[in-house]
Amino acid sequence: MKPYDVIAIGELNVDLLLNRIDGFPEIGKEKFAGDMLLTLGSSTAIFAANSAALGVRTGFAGMIGRDTFGELVKRSLRDKGVDTRFVIESDACATGATIVMNYGEDRANLTYQGAMDRMRFADVDKELFALTRHIHLSSVFMQSGLMQDLGELLRYARSQGVTVSLDTQWDPAETWNFDCRTLLPLIDVFLPNEKELMALTRRATVDEAIREVVPYLGNAAVVKCGSRGSLLVRRDGSVHALDACLNRHVVDAIGAGDSFNAGFVRCFVQGRPLEECQRLGNLIGAVSTTAAGGTGAFASREAVVRTAREVFGQEIDL
Ligand SMILES: Nc1ncnc2c1ncn2[C@@H]1O[C@H](COP(=O)(O)OP(=O)(O)OP(=O)(O)O)[C@@H](O)[C@H]1O
Ligand SMILES: [Mg+2]
């Protein structure tokens, strides 16, 4: 019996959220924000935190600096029940940070990638592959070190009998340099959203984009479609559309995709059928929209069970 169900490998940073800002930043001038919050950031960390909240034994392998932000990242992961023994502290660079300037529904982000951009596969302790059933990767375009070694990492995971899920997330440079032919066959669950899949395959519709990736799928892909739900795509080309769980009072959709991933993967590592994984993914994605931020709805297992029951009328056993 392996001690971890899932180890997330990748990006770790902090988010400094500034709200109620009196205008846009200007060179040579000082502006004020009415409110500020310093918190654990990154898609992969939201996945890991919410995965732990669903009762999945979750670890993290990522790179931080030996600094105050790094301490905050580690403490936040631990507080959320995520094991940090594989987190690497680098002396060479600082922990990454994103300054998020919120203007109503819109936001301007400024990121220093720092340590998370530097991590290479050679830095990752290979022992973790013997200790986990599954690994999850996200935001690969934001991690140039890991991206260079992605093929090697995926092949190693396969050789160790460890299954893999991967969410590309958006490519900020929009070059979409991701070789589907060589990488997709090594990924058990591919988890892009519809815009990302179209950009990645350079196709104008989701249907065409799906047709493009089907021949290379290692096992399955799930295409996330926001409030319209998700599409489960199998290697034989069949597509199963599942409507989202209706939430009439969406607080925000931050981290809905990562929460979907956490729900899907929870079911997947238990060896459940893919359609069941998709159902839990949709439900957990919807649960995420009931509270602020990516982890607000995941304070505890009980909180998730209660939200599923009271808001969505669904009983889940976590
Ligand atoms: N407004 C909503 N109401 C109900 N469920 C939702 C809503 N928005 C998202 N979901 C659920 O969460 C899943 C993932 O959301 P979404 O498609 O926004 O992912 P994403 O684009 O990858 O998001 P992220 O910005 O977190 O990366 C959807 O497939 C859906 O099941
Ligand atoms: Mg996403």
Between 104 and 148, the more confident residue is 148
Query: Rounded mean pLDDT of the chain?
Result: 96
The number of the ligand 1 atom at minimal distance from the alpha carbon of 244 is 31
The per-residue pLDDT for 304 is 98
Task: Choose the weakest-confidence range: 186-200, 246-260, 269-283.
Answer: 246-260
Q: What is the pLDDT of residue 104?
A: 80
Among protein residues, the one with the nearest Cα to ligand 1's atom 16 is: 226
Query: Does residue 10 carry a pLDDT above 80?
Result: yes
String of b and e for 11-44 (b: at least 16 CB within 10 Å)? bbbbbbbbeebeeeeeeeeeeeeeeeeeebbbbb
Examine the pLDDT at 105 and tell me if it is beyond 80.
Answer: no
Average pLDDT for residues 104-118, to the nearest whole number?
90
d(CA 263, CA 286): 10
pLDDT of 78 reads 98
Q: How far apart are CA 233 and CA 215, in angstroms?
A: 11
> Which residue has 């990767």 as its token pair?
137
> Band of the pLDDT at 21, cuts 50, 70, 90?
very high
For residue 107, pLDDT beyond 90: no
* 292 φ/ψ angles, rounded to the nearest 5 degrees: -70, 140
pLDDT in tens, 34-62: 999 999 999 999 999 999 999 999 999 99
Q: Give tens-digit pLDDT for 214-258.
A: 999 999 999 999 999 999 999 999 999 999 999 999 998 889 999
What is the end-to-end Cα distance of the chain in Å, rounded? 19
What's the confidence (pLDDT) of residue 293? 86
C-alpha distances in Å from residue 14, one per residue of 77, 148, 159: 11, 24, 33
Nearest ligand to the C-alpha atom of residue 168: 2
Residue 307 has pLDDT above 90, yes or no: yes
Say if residue 167's pLDDT is above 90. Answer: yes
- Sign, CA dihedral 122-118-190-243, equals positive
Q: What is the 3-state secondary structure (H, E, C) of 99-151?
A: EEEEECCEEEEEEECCHHHHCCHHHCCCCHHHHEEEEEEECHHHCHHHHHCHH
Q: Which of 101-110, 239-248, 268-277 has the lowest mean pLDDT?
A: 101-110
- Residue 202: Cβ within 10 Å count: 10
67-101 pLDDT tens trace: 999 999 999 999 999 999 999 999 999 999 999 99
Instruction: Give nearest CA residue, ligand 1 atom 13.
Output: 285
Cα dihedral value 197, 181, 48, 269, nearest 10: 110
**Side chain identity, residue 242:** L
Cα of 31 vs its chain's centroid, Å: 33
Residue owning the nearest CA to atom 18 of ligand 1: 226
List residues near ligand 1 (CB under 6 A): 169, 193, 224-227, 229-230, 244-245, 247, 250, 253, 255-258, 260, 282, 285-286, 289
Angle, alpha carbons 155-159-162 (nearest 5°): 90
**Of 224, 231, 250, 283, best ligand 1 pocket probe by most atoms within 8 Å of the beta carbon:** 224
Residue 254: other Cβ atoms inside 10 A: 18
pLDDT number for residue 175: 98
- Residue to mutate (ligand 1; options 15, 189, 227; most atoms within 8 A of CB): 227
pLDDT of the residue at 18? 94
pLDDT for 192: 98
The string of DSSP codes covering 186-214 is G-SEE--BHHHHHHHHT-SSHHHHHHHHG
- Residue 61 phi/psi, 5-degree rounding, is -125, 115
R_g (Cα) of the chain, nearest Å: 19
| pLDDT at position 106 | 83
Residue 212 has pLDDT above 90, yes or no: yes
Closest residue by CA, ligand 1 atom 22: 257
Domains annotated on the chain, with CATH: 4-12+43-95+115-312 (3.40.1190.20)
